[in-house]
Amino acid sequence: MIVRRPVLLVLALLALPWTPLAAQVTVEGQTFDARARVGGQDLQLNGVGLRAVAWLKGYAAGLYLPQKSGSADTVLAMPGPKRLQLRMLQQVSTQEFVKAFDRGVKRNTAEADLPALTERMQRFDAIISALGTVRKGDVVDLDYVPGQGLLFVHNGRRRGDVVQGEDFYAALLRIFVGAKPTDPELKTGLLGGPVS
């Protein structure tokens, strides 16, 4: 019996171990796509986590990077675009976000480096405050585009001006994956660990 080459090729491919393509991830009913496009580059979902205090779940978050990494130091030093996506599970006053952002940056940034960030932190606070309230179901993308800076996107619509500086975006990311994160379990999830 003669078996043609195309059939042999198909049979050989079927015999290879099957590895599924990266899939969407769902946490608390919020689905994070496996990929995102930022600054003209495709990023992959590094991990997802949940911000919760006691029984109150505030938001689910996903971190998108050019390459996956489980190391906070590597994530912070990694060149290229990045995205931190927050999917709201509760309605929250933007004043709470501003307070948490300022507190998180100060906890995770050397005191000597804070003066260089102060004016940009105030501009970022103003962008958030202009929203008034962030509602359940809202999606916030915090994108870093090299050569530009941080772009704040709320429900698909860009808000405010770009906040320049890779150092500023790194300060923001350290709130989530730095040495003193807002939520250690959220940090674990964003770095590709299990979601609690």
- State the CATH number of the domain containing residue 54: 3.50.70.10
What is the domain range of residue 171?
A: 23-190
Q: Which residues pair with 125 in a beta bridge?
A: none
The answer to whether 40 and 181 are in contact (CB under 8 A) is no
- Residue 172 domain flag: yes
- Is residue 5 situated within a structural domain? no
- Does residue 139 fall inside a structural domain? yes
- Helices marked H in 39-147 — which ranges? 72-77, 94-108, 114-129
Is 62 contained in some domain? yes
Interatomic CA distance for residues 101 and 10, integer angstroms: 54
Q: What is the pLDDT of residue 97?
A: 87
User: Do residues 45 and 63 touch, judged by C-beta distance below 8 A?
Assistant: yes
- Write down the pLDDT at residue 23: 75
pLDDT at res. 67: 96
82-98 tens-digit pLDDT: 999 999 999 989 998 89
Model pLDDT, residue 195: 83
Is 196 contained in some domain?
Answer: no
Domain membership of residue 153 (yes or no) is: yes
pLDDT under 50: residue ranges of the chain: 1-3, 6-21
80 in Cβ contact with 146 (< 8 Å) = yes
- The answer for residues whose C-beta is within 8 angstroms of residue 152's C-beta and 6 or more apart is 124, 127, 128, 140, 141, 142, 158, 159, 160, 163
Number of domains the chain contains: 1
- Per-residue pLDDT, 61: 97
Task: Tell me, yes or no, whether 14 lies in a domain.
Answer: no
Is 3 inside any structural domain? no
